[in-house]
Amino acid sequence: MGFPVSLRVDDEDVPAEAGDAVFAWLREVDERFSPFKAGSEVSRLDRGELSPDGLSADLTEVLHLCEEYRIATGGAFDVRLPGRGLDPCAVVKGWSVQRAAELLTAAGARRFCLNAGGDVVVSGGPWRVGVRHPEHADKLCTVLALTDGAVATSACYERGDHIIDGRTGRPATGLLGVTVVAPTLTEADSVATAAFAMGPEGIDWAAAREGCEVYAVDAGRRVLRSRGFPVSGT
C-alpha cells in the first residue's frame, strides 16, 4: 500500500520489540491483502483460485465488514465495483492498524500514538490530533483533544478523485474532506471513506452511527460537525 507509519510509545517499560511487531504485522497485511500483489490472498480470491469457504479467518472478517458497510450505505461504499478487481483496501487499512494498536496494548503499552498514512490511533492521552486542511498541506483546519480512540480522514487532495460512489460508478464529489472519530480505527476509517463516497448526505449518515463523531468540509468550504466532535479548547 506504500504509506508511512509513525509510532510513538511513551511507556519506558515496553520493549522495542513491541514496535517491531507492529511494523512486521503491517508488512504481513500488505503481502496478504494487497490487490496490487499477484500472490496475495485477495488477488487469488479475485482470480477464482480460492473458494469463499477456503479463506483465512482474517480475510473472511474483512469481507464481512465490507459487506456491512456496503449495505449500510445503500451501495455507495462498494469494494467490488463493476469492471474493477476486488479492492478491500478501504477496510483493510483501518482494520489492520487497529489490530496493530491492539498488539501494542497487549505488549503493555499504555500511552502511545500510532499514525499510519494519516489514520491515527491514540491511547492514554491527552493527545492533540490535527486535521490537515483540505486545501493547504501545511495548515490544519481543526485540532482535536483525544484520550483514547481513533481518527480517520477521507479527502481527495492526496490521490485525486480515487473514491468511487458505488451507486453511480463515478468519483465521489460534494465533499472536500470527512474526518471521523470512533472508538476503533476499523470503524473510523471505513465510515470516513463511506461517508465521502456518499457525498453531503454521508455527513448525517456518519453522525448517526453509534460512537462516531464527524467533521466535514463541503464543496462550498463550509464546515459541518457533530456536537460531540472533540475539538480542542485551545
Partner 1 sequence: MKRALPVLVLSVAGLIPVWRYEPSTGSTATEATAPASTPSVSSSPGSSSKVVTGTLVPTEKGDVQVEVTYAGDKITSVRMLKQPNHPQTTAAVPKLIAETLEAQSADIDTVSGATITSDGYKESLQAAIDAKGA
For partner 1, which is the closer residue by CB, 52 or 220? Answer: 220
Kindly identify the residues of this chain, within the stretch 149-208, that bind partner 1 according to CB under 8 A. 151-159, 177, 179, 203-204, 207-208
Q: How far apart are CA 234 and CA 221, in angstroms?
A: 22
Residue with cell 501494542: 104
Q: Please state the closest distance from residue 55 (CB atom) to partner 1, in A.
A: 25
Say whether residue 230 binds partner 1 (CB under 8 A).
no
Q: Is 110 in the site for partner 1 (CB under 8 A)?
A: no
Closest distance of CB 124 from partner 1, Å: 12
- Beta bridge partner(s), residue 190: none
Of 159, 155, 166, the C-alpha closest to 189 is 155
Q: Which is nearer to partner 1, 77 or 127 (by Cβ)?
A: 127
DSSP label at residue 231: B
Which one of 93, 95, 100, 101 is in contact with partner 1 (CB under 8 A)? 93
Instruction: Report the C-alpha gap between 137 and 133 in whole angstroms.
Output: 6
Q: Select the residue interacting with partner 1 from 75, 130, 174, 183 (CB under 8 A).
A: 130
The CA distance from 179 to 192, in Å, is 6
d(CA 150, CA 180): 8
In angstroms, the CA 65 to CA 60 distance is 9
Name the grid cell of 150: 481513533
Residue closer to partner 1 by CB (options 50, 230) is: 230
**How far is residue 95 from each of residues 58, 61, 68, 122, measured CA to CA in Å?**
10, 10, 14, 15
87 is a contact residue toward partner 1 (CB under 8 A): no
One of 50, 55, 72, 143 touching partner 1 (CB under 8 A)? 143
| 140 binds partner 1, rule: CB under 8 A | yes
Residue with cell 454521508: 202
Region label for 117, one of left (φ > 0), alpha (ψ between -120 and 50) or beta (otherwise): left
Residue span binding partner 1 (CB under 8 A) among the ranges 4-12, 20-28, 52-60, 63-71: 4-12
**Is residue 222 at the binding interface for partner 1, with CB under 8 A as the rule?**
yes
Position 98 contacts partner 1 (CB under 8 A): no
Which residues of this protein are in contact with partner 1, per CB under 8 A? 1-4, 6, 8, 93, 113, 115, 117-120, 122, 127-143, 151-159, 177, 179, 203-204, 207-208, 214, 217, 221-227, 232
